[in-house]
Amino acid sequence: MSMPTIDPILEGRRSQPGQLIEVLQDVQEICGYIPADAMKAVAKELGVPLMEVYRVANFYKAFTLKPRGKNVITICTGTACHVRGSDLLIDQVKGQLQLEPGETTKDGTFTVECVNCLGACALAPIVVQNGSYLDHMTPGKLRRIIDKTRGAKRKEASDA
Ligand code: FES
């Protein structure tokens, strides 16, 4: 997969190390992650050591260094969600999508991630799909959501 050009992001920000986080936010938005080549370009153009760019990109949860799928499913594994069965949700996605948390399906449709408490413990267990909170999740509900998303993707492909 080729990286979209990040030249417009760097426009007017060259030699401004203080812009590092904002520039990385824009790279994340445009590319969907922070590619290694983008880190090198940002380091060079902003005048920040590459190690520092890497450290910042690695430190903040908002940044991801690997490409993510079109649909990001985040399963909360905090205490309340764990007690109410988040392990079963993880087993569901592992079996259905053939991946481990932190991975992306080969067709790039799904990325599954785990987080520690999303701050909605009363509604546990919580899953977030592309930014939408889904409460009181069960393996069955999750299976249907994944099936529906897959079905929509197949329909998109056959309509094209
Ligand atoms: S533990 Fe899952 S929302 Fe708090």
Q: How far apart are CA 22 and CA 89, in angstroms?
A: 35
Contact between 57 and 65 under an 8 Å Cβ cutoff? The reply is: yes
Tell me the pLDDT of the chain averaged across its residues. 92
Q: How far apart are CA 114 and CA 128, in angstroms?
A: 10
72 sits in which H/E element: strand 71-76
- In this predicted model, what pLDDT tens digit does every residue of 8-48 receive, in sequence order? 999 999 999 999 999 999 999 888 899 999 999 999 999 99
Please work out whether the CB of residue 88 comes within 6 Å of at least one atom of ligand 1.
no
Contact between 139 and 91 under an 8 Å Cβ cutoff? The reply is: yes
Q: How far is the CA of 1 from the centre of ligand 1 (A)?
A: 35
Q: How far is the CA of 59 from the centre of ligand 1 (A)?
A: 22
Q: Place 160 in a pLDDT band, splitting at 50, 70 and 90.
A: low
Q: What is the number of the ligand 1 atom nearest to the C-alpha of 78?
A: 1
143 sits in which H/E element: helix 139-159
Contact between 105 and 99 under an 8 Å Cβ cutoff? The reply is: yes
User: What tokens were used for 36?
Assistant: 């290694």
pTM, rounded to two decimals? 0.73
